[in-house]
Amino acid sequence: MEKGPLHYQTITELADSVRNGDMTAARLTENLLGRISMLDGKLNAFKLRCPELALEIAHAADRAMDNGNDKGILHGIPYAAKDLFDVKGLPTAAGSKLLEKNNAAEDSRVIQHLAAAGMVLTGKTNTVQFAFSGIGINHDHGTPHNPWRRSHYIPGGSSSGSAVAVAAGMVPMALGTDTGGSVRVPASLCGTVGLKTTVGRISRAGVYPLSWTLDSVGVFSRSVEDAALVYQHLQGADINDEITVGLATHNVMSTLKDGASGLRLAFAESVFWEDVDPEITQAVRRCGHVFEELGASVTSIDFTEAREAAELNPGGVIIASEGYTLNRKWLEDHFDELDPVIAHRMIKGKDISAGQYLETIYSAGQLRARAGRTLEDIDALLVPTTPVPAKPVAEIDTNMDEYLAHNMRYLRNTSIGNILNFCGVSLPCGFTGSGMPIGLLIYGKPFREDVILRAGYAYQQATDWHKRTPDLTWAEKD
């Protein structure tokens, strides 16, 4: 099969070129660094670029390969990391100008895993301040530009820069985090794959936290296969993140290509489909026909636990209270220096009582157990990732009320999965009439990443939505 432009090739395709001698890791890295340099002035995906470090790692990867030390398929492949992941010697700003000198003493556990696999870090991507928004707007470092529009449209958040970097062909993979939808929302709005993992699968040690209860590490890529490859290397127990201890790893690659035949899929009705753009509804519903043609059983269920999850956490009780606790220093001592939208939302966590917080945590646990029983005969759920496509920044960032209304709408379908601790993968399933990406969200039960990745891979083998790329000729001009 003929490969497309280098900057839009998958990890699998790039790895093949590195191994057969068509491309060295250094040449590949130089090519993508050049693309980052060309585009990022317009797209603002990166908070920090590190070309010297990247080339140093890439040359070391080539030397290792020449000496017969092949570390596997990720060896020599460039990537980017959301600016929440600690990288030794580099600042972790977490989207705030107050933390721009917050240099990390060591690599986060995830960065260590990717370094061991031979991957090449090109830089750190922009995020919403303290990762506390699903829209992607940052008033300190600027809002990344959704590559599907010449005018400034939101990229989704909070892992905004990572989604833009992958969608624009700057890197084949980028790391993100997801607490209420921060991987899946930008993946949907920017037309990439976005994998949200179950809390406990991947260590969060060395990742700037928002919520110790809901934070999870995620992956942006161009294909489900690429997401699975990276996930395979990231999972595992780490004593520095106790929630991962005692959980065995699983080999998602062994079942990835088993096809959709025999899978029991269901459209989760009720709240997921309320007030959804008609074009999104039509595109996501069509996915059911694709899966049926692939041999899956597709039904519909009234998943009432979804509505309960949405109503359980009004105002984001868990995130707001834990986010305030973790960022209390900045909120109390530097309130006027913070992004006003983020500061005014997060400071409300101060007023949440211990009783309200603990009751929400307890109720969430009970709800998760009931959801598991309801889905006993279902392998995965199909829902729209977001109810609406990306909109212009100017339409949303007008006042606090408008911002908050849009934020709640974009996060509605994804935050339900965080409360239930589902894993989920968002993948492109169509485009609106105006050319904006539409995302299908495949939800899996906790710790069943193997199922959602298998379903997502089967869907992508039968469709080509994920192969479409934005027209960036406007951004490529000086």
Active site positions, annotated:
82, 158, 182
Tokens standing for 144?
A: 């990344």
Q: Which residue has the tokens 């060295």?
A: 24
Contacts with 411 (C-beta within 8 Å, 6 or more apart), sequence order: 134, 180, 181, 185
Q: In the Cβ-directed half-sphere of 122, how many Cα atoms lie within 13 Å?
A: 32
Both structure tokens of 410: 């974009």
**Contact between 227 and 162 (Cβ < 8 Å):** no
173-178 sheet: strands from edge to edge: 46-49, 120-125, 78-82, 173-178, 216-221, 193-196, 423-431, 437-444, 380-384, 264-268, 297-301
Beta carbons of 318 and 368 less than 8 angstroms apart: no
Q: Which residues pair with 266 in a beta bridge?
A: 299, 381
Residue 110: name the closest of 61, 33, 175, 181 by CA: 175
Q: Cβ of 374: how many Cβ atoms within 10 Å?
A: 14
DSSP class of residue 104 equals B
Amino acid (one-letter) located at 395 = E
Residues β-bridged to residue 48:
124
